Structure 1
């Protein structure tokens, strides 16, 4: 099991992938909002989305698991 984690603290503004979708390295998967800026989170690994661990509006800290891949 592989995990995509948050690169910074912020609020989840948008989720760009769905469970079952294939993700490639460098693909934007989440948009965070921090200090009124939109920050894309890119996947550092490839795989199929197995689970999404947060929802739009949730606050996440740096290092929190956002998406689980298989």
Structure 2
């Protein structure tokens, strides 16, 4: 997987598992807010920030430990 540096590409990758309906109420607002956060962060670092999700370790959530069996 190539590192992602475009805000929309990062957002699309992160939200893909949720399989959200693009026309659902709130989805546009969530995307707008996330894009604002990513762009603001990139501006503060003075350079585009790339995210390489393939190098991130997987996180396993033990739902049974939280009572969500």
TM-score (norm 2): 0.25
Larger helix proportion of the pair: 2
Larger strand proportion of the pair: 1
- Of structures 1 and 2, the larger Rg is shown by 2
TM-score (norm 1): 0.25
